[in-house]
Each structure stands twice: as C-alpha cells, then as structure tokens.
Amino acid sequence: MKKLLIAIIVIIISIFAYNQYKTYQRFNPENTNYNVSQMIDIDYYDQEVVFGYHDAIQSLNAYITMQWSANGIDVISPENEEAETVLAVDSYANKRAKVKFYEVKLEQSKRLKDKGFSNKGVQLFENTGLTEEAYNKQLEADKFRDRLLSELPRAYLRSGEKSAFIYEVQKLLVKKGYDIPLDGVYKSITEKAILDFETKANLFVDGNIDQLTLEALLD
C-alpha cells in the first residue's frame, strides 16, 4: 500500500512538473517573442519607420508577456472565448498588424536595394504605386525621354541629314502609325509625316522637330 501511494505521488509530481515545463516552454520569451526580421532594410530612407518597427515589436512582446503573467491569457493561442480573452486577442492582433505594416515596407525596400535601387529609387517606387516591373519600364522610358530631349538639334533639320536622333524620331512616327523607312535620314517622306503629325496634334506646322513636337511624339 505504501509503495502504491509513493508511486501515485511520483506520478502526480511528474505530471505537475511536465505541465509546468510545458507552460514554461509555451511562454518562454524565446518561443513567444516576435523576432526582428533578418530581411529588413535598416538603412531605409525614412528612419522613423525603422524606429517604429522596433518599437512596435517591443510593445507587442511586452503585451504578450503582460497578458499571460497578469491575466493568464494566451493571446497567441487562446483557450476560451470569454469577453476578456477576446478583447486581449483583438488588441494583440492590432499590435501584430502594426509590426507587419512596418515589416512589409522594410522587407520590400531590402529586396529592391538587392536589385540595385537607391533610397531615392525606393521612395519613388512607393509613391508611384506601380509594380516593380512597371516601375522599371517607366524608369527606362523616362531615361529614353530625357536622353532624346537632350539630343534635340538646335538648328532646323536639313534635307538628307542623317543621325541617330532622326532614326529615333522615325521610330516614334512609326509607332504613331506612319509608314516611313527607318534609315535615320531626313527626307521628304519623314518631313511629310512630321507635318501631318503636327497638324493633327494642333502644333506649329513646319515639318521640323522642336521640343513641343518631340514631347508630343513621346506621349
């Protein structure tokens, strides 16, 4: 009888110790704390976002610990639907959403910088609301536009003149629907296409390329 009693006590103590260990493991900071992502951009152009991210994580982890230690509520894996528990879980979800808001921005910035973006490039990417692919296409289009505008001839084009600039203008005219050769030579067929385009675009009609005509072709 004595041995049986000792065995029962040992079993009870073992069960209690196991439950205590499971509880410790469950709420050990190493197991419950939200960890800082290793894929964030710590040099993000707006450092307030970086500070906000770390602050939000600290607030979230403190809240998890406080709810368990003070109220016995597991906000990560709630065991009941009592009003106090539901309220605590809702607050936890809001705090976690705030962390994710910062984290998504910082992780996206890291991915963009890994592809060669600068802080300014990341900011422009965010402000335009374009996808990364669309943003890159727009960036290339803007570079092409700036380059072509910088090559705008100061003097009127002469018949028979040949240049890379004329070739690019011819490509723009073809995109607008004109059937002209792509030879980079300013001949009557190219001049007539420019005259027609200027007329339809309500521009000054002279068959030559000034900044207004070029900008209209680029649109």
Pair (21, 65) in one structural domain:
no
Output 26 or 161, whichever has higher pLDDT: 161
Q: What angle (nearest 5°) sits at the alpha carbon of residue 143, between those of residues 155 and 197?
A: 50
Q: Which two tokens stand for residue 123?
A: 């900011």
Task: Identify the domain boundary among 128, 157, 192.
Answer: 128
In a 10 Å sphere around its CB, with 0-12 CB exposed, 13-18 middle and 19+ buried, how is residue 180 labelled?
A: middle
Q: Tell me the CA distances in angstroms from 47 to 54, 102, 119, 192, one per residue in order.
A: 11, 11, 11, 56
In a 10 Å sphere around its CB, with 0-12 CB exposed, 13-18 middle and 19+ buried, how is residue 177 labelled?
A: exposed
Instruction: Answer whether residue 205 is part of any domain.
Output: yes
* pLDDT at residue 152 tops 90: no
Instruction: Answer whether residue 133 is part of any domain.
Output: no
CB proximity list for 152: less than 8 A, separation 6 or greater: 165, 209, 210, 211, 214
pLDDT of residue 20: 47
Pair (71, 97) in one structural domain:
yes
Instruction: Answer whether residue 135 is part of any domain.
Output: no
pTM given for the model: 0.56
Digit-coded pLDDT (tens) for 169-185: 999 999 999 999 999 99
Instruction: Answer whether residue 136 is part of any domain.
Output: no
Q: How many domains does the chain have?
A: 3
Percent of the chain with pLDDT over 90: 53
User: Considering the chain, what is the average pLDDT of its residues?
Assistant: 85
Output 21 or 136, whichever has higher pLDDT: 136
Mean pLDDT of 43-68: 96
Q: Residue 5 — very low, low, confident or very high, per pLDDT cuts 50/70/90?
A: low
* pLDDT at residue 24 tops 60: no
Mean pLDDT of 141-148: 89
* pLDDT at residue 90 tops 90: yes
Residue ranges making up the domain that contains 25: 1-32
Percent of the chain with pLDDT over 70: 85
Which region among 6-20, 66-80, 118-132, 195-209 has the lowest average model confidence (pLDDT)? 6-20
* pLDDT at residue 63 tops 50: yes
Digit-coded pLDDT (tens) for 120-138: 889 988 988 776 678 778 8
pLDDT of residue 140: 87
Pair (76, 96) in one structural domain:
yes
